[in-house]
Chains A and B, each alone.
Chain A
Amino acid sequence: MKMSEKEKNRQLNKEALMTLGLYVIFFIWWYAFGYGLSGGDPGNFTYIMGLPSWFFFSCVLGWILVSIAVLFMVKKFFVEIDLEEDEKA
């Protein structure tokens, strides 16, 4: 894709912010499920596939979902910009 230097920089800043956004979302997911589902005695936890549900949601599902989210973010919003200098052209 042909872009001026200004446009390239704007796009790069946008991508960096989106990356940080996803990072924050992953943090919230990890924190909310990790601590939200783990009160009380381990004997009373719910278990999914043998694992305590807080762990299953925050770590196993969180990992799979964030991988899918990266795929989606990259395919949908990231632009294949030319990394070489183009002003000589």
Chain B
Amino acid sequence: MGNSMILIPMIIYLVVMLGIAVYTSKIAQGAKGGFIEEYFIGGRSMGGFVLAMTIIATYSSASSFVGGPGVAFSKGLGWVFLAMIQVPTAFLTLGVLGKKFAIISRKIDAVTVTDFLRARYKSDVVVILSSVAILAFFAATMVAQFIGGARLFQAVTGYSYVMGLAIFGIVVVIYTTVGGFRAVALTDAIQGIVMIFATIFLLFAVIKAGGGMEKVIDTIMVSNPGALEPTAGGTISKPYILSFWILVGLGVLGLPQTTVRGMGFKDSKSLHNAMIIGTFVVGFLMLGMHLVGVFGASVLTEGIESSDLVVPTLTIQVLHPVLAGIFIAGPLAAIMSTVDSMLILASAAIVKDLFMHYSKSEMTEKKLSKLSFITTAVLGIIVFVFSIKPPDLIVWINLFAFGGLEAAFLCPTIFGLYWKKANATGAVLSFIGGVGAYFYYTISGVKYIGMNQIVPTIAIAIILFVIGSYIGKKPDQETLELFYGKE
């Protein structure tokens, strides 16, 4: 039977999320911009704190709260060392892309990354490829996140998988549909705060349960001394760990769910503050949660059957049920805040990038808003239904989603912003070649000196982009002036 003490704080939390959606939809009705700009990018009104939190919350997913700490449990500090590669995520994306994206998206009324690519490359092939990649990879990621969340719910509360899925899955779909991007960003901010507190509680509780810092480290020294080395006793090689500087480092500059945030903030000051807050908070979450995993090894000494069960088991063992309920809201928050952002972007891909652009009919604001609500809701429901009994195809695509998005979008985005010669031929070649290479390396298992497959993938994507840009037609004068200023 389930534990209702854990359930109550969770439900209160979910009700708050729904409240926010209702509140933001009221703001949206009085918005001065058009419906599309409001619904898909929140009227470009995010301040520094919300911007920082939404980037962090979207970026941190089930893997930061459950998967990663679970691996750290057996590997030790070496895995925390690896996780800390993600500390610069916020300042890197915002510092490199933020203002450029903000200025250009205001000029061309862009609300999606595809809008930006369309304006930069003026190519239907690029637009279609980009929309398809977003829909396929996001759908797979959303299902995978839902599965992770429901399993976690099941492990911690003792209630069924489907019940967990129903409770938080429906809440995410409703608040995203009703409130649009503004609700996504605001709930992300709150979810970010919940993640911070969840991390603090659990970290302190684990250290306490282990008998204090010194004792925890002593216990690990005896049971698994390799856990105190950056190489995890020789099991984490340098080429392997260094490739994460691409996968969760520079490659993040390509993730559309992160980069689109560069279109949604209010002014330069918001961006500056978000860089500062974001860096500090990402570092805190990564360090805190992964240390929980490592220190957990001194508490759960019998070992554990699956690494994904480490965090749930620790939570139940070291926290009071009410606190456990609040804590479990942390990873659920990480999951929901990843799904909501993808849901709104997938909806934008259909409504804004494909339908509005390619349908000849003129739509009134009212019809457009109806279409957007319905699209978001239907997408959400599809994801939800898939998560109840996940089809193999979705599970399979998810293996490629994170790296695939980077392979697809990194070069077209970065080169498009900073290289005048970048053109459609380069973008298409790099897009297809990059994604193709990523699939090839992942499926075949071919590895160079133990590096993650993302490294050769990105190298191929870059080479193809440059070659394509030299072969293809130069961007026209109008595009150049729009993107790089008048001479």
Instruction: Point out residues on A near B: beta carbons under 8 Å.
Output: 4-6, 8-9, 12-13, 15-16, 18-20, 22-23, 26-27, 30, 34-35, 38, 41-43, 45, 47, 49-52, 54-55, 58-60, 62-64, 66-67, 70-71, 74-75, 78-85
* Chain B positions within 8 Å of A49 at CB level: 213
Selecting from B78-86, B171-179, B386-394, the interface stretch reads: B78-86
Complex Cα distance A50/B295, Å? 12
Contacts of A4 in B (CB 8 A): 485
Give chain B interface residues in 36-78, CB to chain A under 8 Å. 77
B385, CB-defined interface residue at 8 Å? no
Q: List 26 A-B contacts (CB under 8 A).
A: A5-B486, A9-B485, A12-B100, A12-B103, A16-B418, A22-B95, A23-B250, A26-B88, A38-B230, A42-B221, A43-B225, A45-B228, A49-B213, A50-B216, A50-B217, A51-B77, A51-B217, A52-B77, A58-B230, A63-B87, A66-B279, A67-B283, A71-B276, A78-B268, A80-B267, A83-B103
Q: Is B84 within 8 A of A63, CB to CB?
A: yes
Number of residues on chain B facing chain A (CB within 8 A): 48
Inside 8 A of A82's CB, which chain B residues have their CB? 268
Residues of B near A15 (CB, < 8 A) are 95, 99
**Nearest A-chain residue to B216, judged by Cβ:** A50
SS class, residues of chain B in contact with chain A: helix
Q: Which residues of B contact A59 (CB under 8 A)?
A: 77, 80-81, 84, 287
By the criterion CB–CB under 8 Å, are A16 and B95 in contact?
yes
Residues of the A chain whose Cβ atoms lie less than 8 Å from the Cβ of B217: 47, 50-51
State whether the Cβ of B272 lies closer than 8 Å to any Cβ in chain A: yes
CA distance A2 to B15 in the complex (A): 46
Q: A5-B486, A51-B217, A62-B84 are in contact. Are A34 and B230 (CB under 8 A)?
A: yes
Question: Closest CB of chain A to B300's CB: distance in Å?
Answer: 19
**How many Å lie between the Cα of A27 and that of B250 in the bound state?**
12
Residue interface bits B255-268, CB-to-A below 8 A is 1, else 0: 00000000000011
B245 in contact (CB, < 8 A): yes
Known: A5-B485, A27-B245. A80 touches B269 (CB 8 A): yes
Q: Residue B107 at the A interface, CB < 8 A?
A: yes
B159 CB–A CB distance under 8 Å: no
A45 to B: closest C-beta gap in Å: 7
Chain B residue nearest in CB terms to A26: B88
Closest to A80 in B: B268
Q: Is the CB of A83 within 8 A of B267?
A: yes
Are A42 and B229 in contact, CB atoms less than 8 angstroms apart? yes
Query: Do the beta carbons of B91 and A52 come within 8 Å of each other?
Result: no
| Residue of chain B at shortest CB distance from A72 | B276
- Checking A19, A38, A74, A81 against B276 with a beta-carbon cut-off of 8 angstroms, the contacting residue is A74
Which partner residue on chain A sits nearest B485 by CB separation?
Answer: A5
A81 near B287 with CB under 8 A, answer: no
Known: A51-B217, A58-B230, A63-B84. 4 other contacts (CB 8 A): A5-B485, A12-B100, A15-B99, A74-B275
| In the complex, chain A residues whose CB is within 8 Å of the CB of B136 | none
Q: Complex: how many Å from CA A26 to CA B77?
A: 18
Instruction: Tell me, rounded to whole Å, the shortest Cβ–Cβ distance linking A32 to chain B.
Output: 12
Closest A residue to B276 by CB, please name it.
A71
In the complex, B484 has a CB within 8 A of chain A: yes
Shortest distance from the beta carbon of A64 to any chain B beta carbon, whole Å: 8
B84 smallest CB distance to A (angstroms): 5
Listed from nearest, the 8 A-B pairs whose CB atoms lie closest are A19-B95, A50-B213, A5-B485, A63-B283, A42-B228, A80-B268, A67-B280, A74-B272
Q: For A38, list chain B residues within 8 Å (CB).
A: 229-231
